[in-house]
């Protein structure tokens, strides 16, 4: 039958897309790049239409290829998960766990969870990609994502991961405050240099300070703007005296204790809900299910 394509060939195509190229896919699959290319060519011959546009530097799905991938990806994922679960029944969890997360969870929330996870499941390969925007984790090949306060798709399940509530506060180096003075009110911050973060959609991460029911949105002078993916690196610039930083309170304990940074307006804080792990409301692969158990055990 001309338009019948084997699941194995389709799995190779999905690996090419997930890994970003033929050579990377060949390394992941343990086969020659020529075999990967021949498999894609065979798919196109059987379907009678191109599925990939290939250049020397990039590859992209055609419209037909996109339709094919959208239809078969969840089916193959379910098949792979079912076979893997049966094959490893009663054995150690193994495979890969791929997460898409914001930079805010990288310094202190994920390390302890992943240390616990890896100690319990050493045969699982964990891959983390840092992004801040809400994405289609299924279409992009992720097992799960982590986000703050995002409106998640209806077919997603989400659970808390890490602290239920987090606070953000302002701080600066002693040298900066000695030279520029210590702000006494939120409005005073508008005259100070600030280390700010830009979200993936181009908007600036806002400074909204709260105290006893009062909320003030502050627009300081931007001395340094960083990508939100580099959220925790801003502390180094604050320590160097570039300006005031508005960041997670739980990141600042060591710097406050050592005197590298000084709290500013300690009674004025921003509060937000803690991060949540979200994943498809369908099947749950064993590596992800084991990670969920770790997260729920830490709650």
Q: Is the pLDDT of residue 236 over 70?
A: yes
Say which residue the tokens 């005073």 belong to.
Answer: 188
Task: Encode pLDDT of 81-123 as tens digits.
Answer: 666 666 555 557 889 999 999 888 888 899 999 999 999 999 9
Query: How confident is the model over 145-173, as a mean pLDDT?
Result: 84
CA distance 151 to 117: 27
How many angstroms separate the CA atoms of 188 and 244, rounded?
Answer: 12
pLDDT, tens digit (0-9, with 9 covering 90-100), for 121-133? 999 999 999 887 7
pTM over 0.85: no
- pLDDT tier, 69 (very low <50, low <70, confident <90, very high otherwise): confident
Task: Using DSSP, state whether 297 is helix, strand or coil.
Answer: helix
Looking at the predicted structure, is the pLDDT value of residue 37 above 80? yes
Q: Which two tokens stand for residue 253?
A: 């304990």
What band does 154 get if pLDDT is binned at 50, 70 and 90? low
Q: Which residues contact 61 (CB under 8 A, 6 or more apart)?
A: 17, 51, 52, 53, 69
Mean pLDDT, the chain, rounded, equals 87
- Give mean pLDDT, residues 70-89: 71
> What is the percentage of the chain residues whose pLDDT exceeds 90?
43
Q: What is the Cα–Cα distance from 278 to 156, expressed in whole angstroms?
A: 6
- Alpha helices by DSSP H, listed for 121-199, are 174-180
Alpha helices in the chain (DSSP H): 7-19, 22-29, 33-47, 63-87, 110-120, 174-180, 234-239, 253-258, 286-298
Question: Residue 156: which of 186, 136, 177 has the closest Cα?
Answer: 136
What is the per-residue pLDDT for 143?
A: 93
Tell me what pLDDT residue 1 has. 47
| pLDDT tens-digit map of 202-213 | 888 899 999 998
53: left (phi over 0), alpha (psi -120 to 50) or beta: beta
Listed in sequence order, the residues at least 6 apart from 203 whose beta carbon sits closer than 8 Å to its beta carbon are none
Instruction: Please answer whether residues 127 and 100 qualify as being in contact, where contact means their C-beta atoms are separated by less than 8 angstroms.
Output: no
pLDDT of residue 85: 62
- The confidence band for 151, taking pLDDT boundaries of 50, 70 and 90, is low
- Crossing angle for the helix pair 33-47 and 22-29, to the nearest 10 degrees: 110
Average pLDDT over residues 72-82: 76
> How confident is the model at residue 182, as a pLDDT?
96
Using a pLDDT cut of 70, give the percent of the chain over it.
91
Instruction: Write the pLDDT tens digit of every residue in 245-266.
Output: 999 998 899 999 999 999 999 9
pLDDT at 56 over 70: no
Average of pLDDT values for 223-238?
85
Task: Identify the CA nearest to 154 among candidates 287, 13, 282.
Answer: 282
> Is the separation of the CB atoms in 142 and 99 below 8 Å?
yes
pLDDT of residue 73: 83
Given this model, what pLDDT does residue 225 score? Answer: 94
> 50-54, 93-97, 281-285, 289-293 — which is least confidently predicted?
281-285
Q: What are phi and psi of 96, to 5 degrees?
A: -135, 140
Statement: residue 2 has pLDDT above 60 = no
Instruction: Work out the number of other CB atoms within 10 angstroms of the CB of residue 76.
Output: 17
d(CA 11, CA 73): 8
Question: What pLDDT sits at residue 118?
Answer: 94
174-202 average pLDDT score: 93
């Amino acid at each position: 039958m001309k338009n019948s394509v084997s699941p194995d060939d389709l799995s190779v195509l999905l690996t090419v897309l997930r890994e970003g190229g033929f050579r990377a896919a060949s390394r992941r699959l343990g086969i020659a790049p020529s075999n990967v290319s021949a498999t894609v060519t065979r798919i196109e011959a059987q379907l009678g239409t191109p599925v990939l546009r290939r250049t020397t530097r990039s590859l992209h799905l055609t419209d037909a290829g996109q339709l094919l991938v959208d239809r078969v990806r969840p089916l193959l994922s379910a098949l792979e998960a079912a076979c893997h679960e049966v094959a490893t029944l009663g054995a150690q969890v193994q495979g890969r766990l791929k997460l898409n997360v914001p930079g805010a969870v990288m310094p202190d929330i994920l390390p302890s969870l992943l240390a616990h996870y890896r100690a319990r499941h050493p045969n699982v390969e964990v891959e983390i990609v840092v992004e801040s925007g809400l994405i289609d984790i299924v279409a992009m090949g992720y097992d799960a994502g982590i986000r703050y306060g995002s409106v998640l798709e209806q077919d997603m399940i989400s659970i808390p991961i890490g602290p239920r509530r987090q606070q953000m506060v302002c701080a600066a180096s002693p040298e900066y405050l000695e030279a520029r003075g210590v702000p006494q009110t939120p409005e005073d911050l508008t005259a100070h240099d600030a280390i700010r973060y830009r979200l993936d959609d181009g908007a600036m991460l806002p400074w909204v300070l709260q105290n006893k029911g009062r909320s003030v949105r502050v627009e300081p002078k931007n001395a340094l703007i960083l990508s939100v993916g580099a959220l925790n690196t801003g502390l180094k610039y604050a320590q160097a005296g570039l300006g005031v930083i508005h960041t997670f309170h739980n990141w600042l304990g060591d710097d406050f204790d050592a005197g590298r940074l000084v709290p500013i307006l300690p009674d004025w804080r921003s509060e937000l809900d803690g991060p949540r792990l979200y994943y498809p409301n369908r099947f749950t692969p064993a590596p992800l299910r084991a990670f969920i158990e770790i997260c729920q055990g830490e709650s």
